[in-house]
Structure 1
Amino acid sequence: MVRDKTVMDNDARPMSGDNSYIYFGNLFPHEPQYRSGRFLGLALTPRFDRDIAHDARAALPFDDGSVPGFQSQDVFEHVEREKVPAILDDIYRCLRDGGLFRLSLPDYNSPLLRRRSAYDHTGRVLYDVAMGGALQAAMAGDVEVSLPPGGDTHLWFPTFHGLLEVILASRIRHCEEIHFYHYWRNPEEWVVQPFDQSLMPVSRVPPADMRAGGKPISLVVDFVK
């Protein structure tokens, strides 16, 4: 249902019965998820004591139905779009029945992000200027995008309808409940609905982030298995 609205090795991984929640990315000590003591971070380059070495594009190192919850904040836009459905498949596999996965991504229908992006003649985002990139002339007279190396560049540019396509391409569409809380339906219409942030707070949403005057800059979606 869609509603509108390496610190540890594999032998030390959480298995069935473990109550750790999983956070995609480095789990910085200043973050509420770290301070709660309930989360472990999955990070390409572990930096802190609760980080597990993991490439988001690889299979998750957890048993089927063993994880009570996942959270991903501003991570999957750094992964090739065509690889995201498989990541969502694996989250669905590992999530316990009744477990929660909270996903937030930058919303490229937000005027704040649109102003800092470069487009082709059709209006398609080519790259986010703030995250690096340049245009180069191709032999046929078209343009090619040159992106800087490293993991900071955005490789695709999520919108409400674009994210729906990704969800429908994944088994995560079979979740009992899917709630969209923050998003732009299109460049003119937006939705901001309250949601419980006691366990999984999201940093780039109002009132914590008021760069857009209270309008959404992130897509925020909950999946309940």
Structure 2
Amino acid sequence: MSTVNAYDESAPISFGEGAQGNGYFRGSVVDPDLDVRAHALSAKGSPAEQADAAFAHANKEFRQFLDKIPAGTFTPEGRQAHIAKFGDTGAVKGADAAVEAVRAEHAAAEAAVTKARASLVKPGDTATELRNTRYWNRVQPMLNAERSGTLAALVDKLINEATPEQLGVLSEELIPYLTARREPGTALVEVALRRAAPEYGKAIARAESTQKALTVAEYNAKRLKQAIKDGRPATRFLSVQDYNLARR
């Protein structure tokens, strides 16, 4: 708490917004300890939609909060401390909670990808394992015979024509094989697997979507915290659409 004594000739001149016309005064200014409140928003929709709404709400509440600070009530330091209290309001905590919900959704989507990828490899009996081994033993010489320029086309063909059992073999063996050959085919294998195994493709697409939402939510959380630190509302927040355009 800061105090300037009006009757002390040696008292420093403090600055207060609108306190004495030009904003400068020599007088008794005690920074009041005022409550700062802003309720959390109860939003509907997906976690990403709720996060968007929570940030817009917190920013609106912050703007209204700033507009209501009485001029000349605080010293500069006191005003800054008063503004910082907004970070502990329900509106900001609600926005933080919304980010965590987006993060949890992304974690669940990543776990679904791992599960879907693992399901491509179906455990079988000894006869199945022997068939899988024979299949790879037939395929590998075909791959070895291909040059780098035509290898990608063969990989794509093998995946598209594979049975479920064979797809499991290719999903396990192709990437290590291409890596050993120093061929940049990992992305190609993933694209082909997504096309050949729709459930896996859906899981990947979901994980990518939630990753974008998380990137946007985390960026907006930083924007809001910086706005409170600067004492100015954020001009705008990032959207998933903005993120997609920036990545093109």
TM-score range, shorter chain: under 0.3
Greater strand fraction, Structure 1 or Structure 2:
1
TM-score, normalised with respect to structure 2: 0.21
Larger Rg: 2
